[in-house]
Amino acid sequence: MRFDVLTIFPDMVRSALREGVVGRAVQQGRIELHCWNPRDFTQDRHRTVDDRPFGGGPGMVMKAEPLMAAVAAARQASPGARVIYLSPQGRVLDQAAVADMAQAPGLILIAGRYEGVDERFINACVDEEWSIGDYVLSGGELPALVLIDAVSRLLPGTLGHDESAAQDSFSAGLLDYPHYTRPEELQRQRVPAVLMSGDHARIARWRKKEALGRTWERRPDLLARRDLTPEEATLLAEYRQEWEA
Q: Is there a contact between 208 and 235 (Cβ–Cβ < 8 Å)? A: yes
Give the separation between CA 218 and CA 214, rounded to whole angstroms: 6
**Is 163 an active-site residue?**
no
Q: Which is nearer to ligand 4FX, 11 or 184 (CB)?
A: 11
Q: Which is nearer to ligand 4FX, 121 or 206 (CB)?
A: 121
Residue 46, CA distances (Å) to 41, 152, 176 in order = 12, 36, 50
**Is 192 an active-site residue?**
no
Q: Is 234 helix (H, G, I), strand (E, B) or coil?
A: helix
Residue 7 touches ligand 4FX, criterion: CB under 6 A? no
Residue type, 14: R
Among the listed residues 32, 65, 168, 176, the single catalytic one is 168
Give the separation between CA 130 and CA 145, rounded to whole angstroms: 13
Question: CB under 6 A: which stretch of 25-33, 80-88, 118-126, 189-197 binds ligand 4FX?
Answer: 80-88
Q: How many residues bind ligand 4FX (CB under 6 A)?
A: 15
Residues numbered 105-124 forming contacts with ligand 4FX, rule: CB under 6 A: 112, 115-116
**Is 153 an active-site residue?**
yes
Contact code string over 33-62 relative to ligand 4FX, x by CB under 6 A: ------------------------------
**Is 39 an active-site residue?**
no
Give the separation between CA 108 and CA 217, rounded to whole angstroms: 38
